[in-house]
Amino acid sequence: MLPGWIRQNSRAAIQTLCNHLLSLSLEECPQLLTAGGQSYIRLHNEQEEKSDRGNRDSDSELVNPRLKCAIILLYPTGRFRTSPFARGRGVFPAGKSRTLWGSGLKWTGPGHVYAVSAFAALGGLSFGLDTGMISGVLTMDNFVDYMTDGETTFTSLQSSTIVSTLLAGCFVGALISGLLCESLGRKRSILIGSLILILGVILQTAANGYIMMCVGRPIAGVGIGILSMSVPLYQSELAPKAIRGRLISLQQFAITIGIMLSFWINYGTNMHLQGTATWRVPLALQMAPAIVLAVGTMFLPYSPRWLLQQGRNEEAQQVLARLHGNGDKNHPYVLEEYNEICEQIALEKAVAIHSYVELLQGTVRRRVILGVLIQIFQQLTGINAIMYYAPSIFHATGISSGNASLLATGINGVINVLATIPAILWVDRWGRRWTLISGAIVMGVCMVTAGIVLGVCGKIVDQPGGDKTIDMSGNKAASYFSIVMIYMFVAGFAYSWGPCGWIYPAEIFPLRIRSKATSVTTAANWLFNFVVGEIVPVMLARITFGTFIFFGGCCFIMAVVVVFFFPETKGKSLEEMEFIFGERSKDFTYLREKPDPYAGYENTFNSNTYNSNTFNSGYESNYRL
């Protein structure tokens, strides 16, 4: 610890010089703008250097909005806690008030960004409602009787067709959404997806037979497919890099909430309603979030990156100011982000991609492959096998009552929601790689264990038509253990591959291909979702417990692939992904080190740039311009 008089004098000297620099105009200090940001002003105190020799450096940054450049204060005192001085007057204090020293400006809190991203995630809520609703509706006696003209059960082909026709529509919707997002923008694409979804739900709710139900399902699927691509893309382009993963994971959180609500709605309507209302009411409720989203979309801002692509620069700057600058277009963070996006667009115009075939050519091919792989892997975890056919699966594990299986499914939905919350809070701290690897291992262990227990302790019973099922009625302990393994599997997915499956593809592509590439990766998700929806009933009927072992093995393979092929992307701006994938020289000016205004919530700057986020009265300062 330095003597008090040294700390006080050093502090006063640094603050005086910084306040003076902040008061300068461009005309008053042209010499400070030379050499592309390589000029330095240095204060040095030999006595303090001897006292603090050996301590490591840490950075803080001060931005002069009039100079439009950065001033870096380097303090060689290592990692330290926030001092009272830092909380009161320091540069970027760790508390929620991020006052720029001497500028009088404050960073806008993330509340506005959260609100916009959460509202857009209503599209995910609609998909979650459908996923959970249909799994319960397929087991309702009245629905089966109404759709099959008096039969007591669906065939495996009939049930899989009802599920998979929606997924076929989702595949088509995801593909066309790339063109919609480029031509009409992310915001209008969300509106179009909502309206198409509403139409499809109306047809399902009013269905007078199996054919009409199978017509309404793919129409609703087209709407869901458009939303599933455009919403994460929209969220990623609004979000600051420090909390981008958190904001995109709101999409997955909304999906899990929809699934949970649908399970309990199915349980309630099956218990308390009669006739066709038992299944028409749950299906109709899918319209609620879609209607709210369609109306509310009119009040959402356009993506600033899309606006700049269209040459609507003034509107883009206004959106950035509202989201990140407390409405101030001259806010330093707004200016920095605006210039960064403009630079990226200018560089990309020379290599613009005009067809989907070009996505597999040149340097972007690797990213497209990784984006497609992560979406395929998300489905090969087997999660939607559990969600679509949860009541049937719980019935196979020994829960014979229809209401009991719906209750177990409802508990499954609650676990899904609760386990997603840690990802929202900490995915930007954990990173994408660790989250994906750990989740794959947890899921693999749970699936394989459940399959082995069902195979060893259950009895295979032959059904008419050559189908098979597992009878666990003679071993309740093994039955309950299998259910616990399924619950743990769902929790493992919810914190890892659920959110990261949407985060990673939405953030790795350059702006010139982002819409097309994201539509391709999302379409791959729906294609394999369709495949899983088709084959799982057949697998359950033919290889029974082997279904669980198959998906468990897929999870272990996924963990290995992520270890060797997927780079970490946390804490990087969308424009900096060029460097992550080694596709651009690191000499571009916008790579200058700068803090993120939202990093204060973690009490640290970007980990690749800064070692601390607090002020401690050091003895040496460098002002790098």
For residue range 531-542, what is the model confidence (pLDDT) as tens digits?
Answer: 887 788 788 888
Classify 99 as helix, strand or coil.
Answer: strand
Residue ending a domain, choose from 334, 351, 368: 351
In a shared domain, residues 425 and 493: yes
Only one residue has tokens 């082995």, namely: 452
Say if residue 81's pLDDT is above 60.
no
* Together in a domain, 408 and 508: yes
599 located within any domain: no
Q: Which two tokens stand for residue 510?
A: 């350059």
Q: Do residues 509 and 526 both lie within one domain? A: yes
Q: What's the sign of the alpha-carbon dihedral 408, 411, 417, 420?
A: negative
Statement to judge: residues 312 and 346 lie in one domain: yes
SS3 69: strand
Q: How far is CA 397 from CA 305, 457, 535, in A?
A: 50, 10, 19
CB 299 within 8 A of CB 190: no
The per-residue pLDDT of the chain, averaged, comes to 76
Q: Quick count: other Cβ atoms within 10 Å of Cβ 584? A: 18
Domain that holds residue 324: 302-351
Strands 459-462 and 69-75: what pairing? unpaired
State yes or no: pLDDT of 589 exceeds 90. Answer: no
pLDDT band at 296 (very low <50, low <70, confident <90, very high): very high
CATH number at residue 197: 1.20.1250.20
**Residues 6 or more apart whose Cβ sits within 8 Å of residue 568:** 431, 432, 433, 580
Interacting residues of 81 by C-beta distance below 8 A, sequence separation 6+ = 614
Instruction: Report the DSSP pairing between strands 69-75 and 621-624.
Output: unpaired
Show Cβ contacts of residue 358 under 8 Å, excluding neighbours closer than 6 positions: none
CB 498 within 8 A of CB 350: no
Looking at residue 1, the DSSP 8-state letter turns out to be: -
Same domain, yes or no: 36 and 163: no
Neighbours of 187 (CB within 10 A): 19
101 occurs within a structural domain:
no
**Number of folded domains that form the chain:** 3
Residue 576 domain flag: no
Query: Hey, is 7 helix, strand or coil?
Result: helix
How open is the CA angle 244-370-126, to the nearest 5 degrees? 55
Q: Are residues 357 and 226 part of one domain?
A: yes
pLDDT of residue 138: 86
Residues 427 and 540 in one domain: yes
37 Cα distance to chain centroid: 35
Rounded-to-integer distance, Cα 600 and Cα 426, Å = 14
Reported as a pLDDT band with limits 50, 70 and 90, residue 70 is very low
pLDDT tens digits, 3-29: 554 445 555 554 554 454 444 433 333
Same domain, 216 and 229: yes
Residue 344 located in a structural domain: yes
Mean pLDDT across 435-442: 97
pLDDT of amino acid 307: 93
User: Among 316-320, 386-390, 605-609, whose mean pLDDT is lowest?
Assistant: 605-609
Q: How far apart are CA 504 and CA 376, in angstroms?
A: 13
**Given the structure tokens 């599997």, which residue do they identify?**
489
Residue 528: what residue type?
A: F
Residues 213 and 332 in one domain: no
pLDDT at residue 150 in the model? 73
Place of tokens 């998909």: 127
Residue 581 lies in a domain: no
Q: Taking 70 as the threshold, does the pLDDT of residue 441 lie above it?
A: yes
pLDDT in tens, 219-243: 999 999 999 999 999 999 988 888 8
Same domain, 449 and 539: yes
For residues 280 and 133, state if they share a domain.
yes
On the 0-12 / 13-18 / 19+ scale of CB atoms within 10 A, 193 is buried
Residues 433 and 330 in one domain: no
Whether 103 is in a domain gets the answer no
d(CA 78, CA 137): 60
pLDDT of 109 over the 80 cut: no
What angle do helix axes 111-120 and 210-238 make, rounded to 10 degrees? 160
| pLDDT above 60 (res 613) | no
